Amino acid sequence: MPIPTIYTENRKVYIIDQTLLPIEKKYIEIKDKKEMWDAIKRLKIRGAPAIGIAAAFGVWLGVRNFKGSFNEFMKRFEEVCSYLATSRPTAVNLFWAIDRMKNLISKSNTENVEELKELIFNEARNMIDEDNMVCRAIGENGVSLIKDGYSLITHCNAGGLATAMYGTALAPIYIAKERGYNIHVWVDETRPLLQGARITAFELVEADIPATLITDNMAAFVMYQGRVNMAIVGADRIAANGDTANKIGTLGLAILAKEFGVPFYVAAPISTIDLKTKEGIDIPIEERGPDEIIKGFGKQTAPSNINVYNPAFDVTPARYISGIITEKGIITPPYRENIQKLFS
């Protein structure tokens, strides 16, 4: 089984601290909204679906100890939602989860504060079960693209640790393993924070799936050598026309796949599709601090006064994407029309 990313026990919320992987596998309790904001911002929990679930629990943590009137509660609730929304701008699941909580409260038939808090807690807990079902369905749909003997390449981490447990891009790989397929995975290191090396490699080793770690600039050569049959990545936001934001470096991998005739797939739940964002150019891209590059993991590797550009994500135009694997099926071009059909 994949490793649970976030869970609740005795009305306490725990996450696996991904900043410690792969050296230490440690679960930490998140006690309030500020700790959850910090966990999301500092990538203790990461991956669009996992961020969404974390935000939902963050809402509950922000109001669970509140005592006061209904109107005062609603003011606190809105403040908590707005605060959590500032943690990371690109992953649409964060805002989807917060909007889901707002819709839940607006449609409730009670003004009893304790009942409202219970509604929020149960909704967040249900999101874990839903995510597991969704990711399993993504895996079942995606495994239809994988043949016995395939060698796949992936970028960043869209495995169990980017969701509640099963993952998106790795879900078809896990199911292929269950079915006894002889498969292999090339794992992009994913600079500058090495989510591929630290997290995806860790997951695949734990799952006993054959994998080989490469630096990002080696992907072209392994494709040139004909050693890759399929590329599969996750997504943090998919625009209405199919343009996809994912971890920085995904665009380069997609362009390489196109050049070498390797099918390039995106795996994501439909909650990652943002119909309000018409094209990729409209997706807000988070920029992170220079120390992630100048002093990566505490080791200085560049002059302190050098200018640094550090976008956390890039956007892959839809023309490079062979298909988008969702829990409802595989979306194929033309994306704008077929995404609209899926939602209608």
Residues with active-site annotation: 236
Is 315 in contact with 285 (CB distance < 8 Å)? yes
Secondary structure of residue 90 in the 3-state scheme: coil
Alpha carbon distances (Å) from 234 to 91, 155, 313: 11, 8, 12
Residue 325 burial (C-beta neighbours within 10 Å; 0-12, 13-18, 19+): buried
Query: Nearest 10 degrees: CA dihedral of 101, 121, 64, 67?
Result: 80
Q: Which of 167, 113, 114 is nearest to 138 (CA)?
A: 167
The DSSP string of 142-181 is HGGG--TT-EEEE-S--SGGGSSSS-SSSHHHHHHHHTT-
Q: Which of 48, 53, 41 is nearest to 13 (CA)?
A: 53
Secondary structure of residue 86 in the 3-state scheme: coil
Fill in the DSSP letter of residue 177: H
